Structure 1
């Protein structure tokens, strides 16, 4: 159940490491349904192998959590289909491991996940670490590699048990340099048990994984939720150079305006979190629409309009503060009921919703896009006043923007400059590696000129 921030101000709420990462894994379903199914199956297989091989509860926890998002760096279907080619070699194009590792960094609850993601395609025995020669490859990442290959070998239209002999033979025929022999032996013992194959095919892996393995509990504070929201904003914004700093801008503007309007510290943090998450529904939008530099067709506009609905769906799965869900999801609603996708009227739109709606418009029109320049202060002020007069946006919120325009604009610019530096570092770290290069979507940012 989500928490109503407006009526109950909690310093923290209790969740688990599994629930957080599982919800993130489910959100990736919108980018590619195949990845979501693959993640959950690999998590179960890897956890089962690790348990059979005698790893500690903490090690198994890290293996399962990393498995649930191991391909988070894959953002387009093209590369996923390349990865499921069973003839894949270590030297092939695998920058998704660096993308995923970068996206998951800085989360203090999950310090080991980035490294496991980074090396989940690395063979057991290698002469040289081609990704980072100064870093030791974690042994447990090879379990994810093995589980990944097991799942890839399984055809979805044939019962898993019927494929037992074929899959086990395939794994045994790999070079001993590819997989840790102890891990392979653990898998072969599991393969003798029919229930293992039945459980791989279980549609709902949530209870299967959560209640058969140990996971740590987390006292999630608002500051922790803010940290998580920044991670998610990277996944959203880094899909496209045109919007690579947008969520950071909206988050800062929303926080600043909430503060100026006298909202409590927790409400201000909630506004910032909602700003980071308001466009998470764009994970469901095809990348060609996000990249398009010309005017969208009517059909494309309708597809784009789905994103706040998907924001609502995704955030509900995270079981976060209910207020944050509303503020983030209703950023395209209008006081006169002519917004989308829920057509809510002003009696259903709280102050936080109204702030987010203006923060999104203010930030978007302050940004340069390929198809238009940023709006001047005069034009933007005039537009905001007009929208207030048409009862689309809140008068009090608009007046706060106008009265503090320069302060808000300066803070927005500073936040977006910082986000731009982080995006540049992301591109540098991922694409400077001579081995791990790829034609995934992110490459377009390097040639966007």
Structure 2
């Protein structure tokens, strides 16, 4: 049986961009923080001659070190009436996003043991961190990511001038054996020079990052495909309480429809993955727009429309992912050419792309949102038929949806 083969590192990198958009919105960290932490970590790994699968796993952990940020904010911070995000994220609640983050990545297909890497990535060498673990109780990868994370946050907050490297060296020597263990400090100073450190401020480091990591594709079975897709869908859906299960719902229904229409198992898996990722571009759109219950202004609507374009850009980073990317990103295109972001016409939209557009509308109409109750299956299908008559969506698929999703009612 043919198996699905995915560039998991590229997908992780794409997701890290989405997470960076969240951090930029919240705590003012510039984009590409996750990739810079991964790059610094991968460079430091050279000191210990970490290679192959272990290097790939280190890079993935670094890219996803803050994977639970949206979840933590939506579940914990929203309980508080007054939130000082910077203070909360850096001090009192650090261990919570570490706990959530550690739990989330257990579903991802790592080749080596990465347990406690995310959990302890904020620990201090002297045991004064959130879990009071000393450096010799912390996995090496967690210690590497901890140093890389703080280096990038500080680098981002000081002016990138000739003195910044000296400042960083001084900071590391002052915090050696307290915040950082001496081995990690030595590793950083061993691989970085003033010149290579200054290069972190431009985007050239990203090319070097992808050259350094093996980027081995992983062969997915259906179970792994679901686990990986659900991991990414969860991050997207936590972004806004308005869409708490939307991506998972689209993934489930898109794969169910594909199966019902007689597609092979590989295509069914791809549809699940595309459904889970279709709204990843929403990570780049502010919540003040995503959660606005009133009608959006023209300017706000054009920003909201950008999310499908961002999905396309974000997923373009993944190797050999064009088909899934298109199925995911074209879900707001219309057969009459008046959809967005590309204004595709009926002749340019294949059947899986048309299916995704219909499923997205069906899911959005039937799910409950804080400001509205979900519609019934019948009412939703009537709306789909009406949209099909207006040449927005495919009428054949609309009819099949009435049959397919009506079976279990």
TM range (shorter): 0.7 to 0.9
Partners in 1 of 2:354 and 2:34 — Cα distance? 37
Q: Does residue 145 of structure 2 align to residue 154 of structure 1? A: no
Residues 82-161 of structure 1: pairs in structure 2 closer than 5 A = 82=86, 91=92, 93-109=94-110, 112=113, 115-126=116-127, 130=131, 137-154=138-155, 158-159=159-160
Partners in 2 of 1:160 and 1:182 — Cα distance? 27
8 Å Cα contact 1:35/1:71 also seen in 2: no
Partners in 2 of 1:346 and 1:217 — Cα distance? 36
8 Å Cα contact 1:271/1:327 also seen in 2: yes
Q: CA deviation at 1:175?
A: 6.0
Q: CA deviation at 1:286?
A: 0.5
Q: CA deviation at 1:121?
A: 0.8
8 Å Cα contact 1:281/1:311 also seen in 2: yes
Seen in structure 2, the aligned counterparts of structure 1 residues 249 and 301 have a Cα distance that, compared at 3 Å, is same
2:66 corresponds to: 71
Taking structure 2 as the reference length, what is the TM-score of the superposition?
Answer: 0.82
Structure with bigger RCO (C-alpha 8 Å, 6+ apart)? 1
2:350 corresponds to: 350
Q: CA deviation at 1:400?
A: 1.2
Specify every segment of 5 or more residues in structure 1 that has no aligned partner in the other structure, as ranges. Answer: 1-8, 411-449
Seen in structure 2, the aligned counterparts of structure 1 residues 227 and 299 have a Cα distance that, compared at 3 Å, is same
Partners in 2 of 1:338 and 1:174 — Cα distance? 58
1:324 corresponds to: 324
Residues 385-400 of structure 1: pairs in structure 2 closer than 5 A = 385-400=385-400
Any idea what SS the aligned residue of 2:369 has?
coil
Partners in 2 of 1:236 and 1:317 — Cα distance? 17
Any idea what SS the aligned residue of 2:118 has?
helix
Seen in structure 2, the aligned counterparts of structure 1 residues 74 and 186 have a Cα distance that, compared at 3 Å, is same
Determine which of 17, 26, 43 is the counterpart of 1:26.
17
Specify every segment of 5 or more residues in structure 2 that has no aligned partner in the other structure, as ranges. Answer: 78-82
Q: CA deviation at 1:338?
A: 2.3
2:43 corresponds to: 48
Aligned residues: 392
8 Å Cα contact 1:237/1:244 also seen in 2: yes
Residues 40-439 of structure 1: pairs in structure 2 closer than 5 A = 40-53=35-48, 59-75=54-70, 82=86, 91=92, 93-109=94-110, 112=113, 115-126=116-127, 130=131, 137-154=138-155, 158-159=159-160, 162-174=163-175, 176-190=177-191, 193-211=193-211, 213=212, 215=214, 217-221=216-220, 223=222, 224-407=224-407
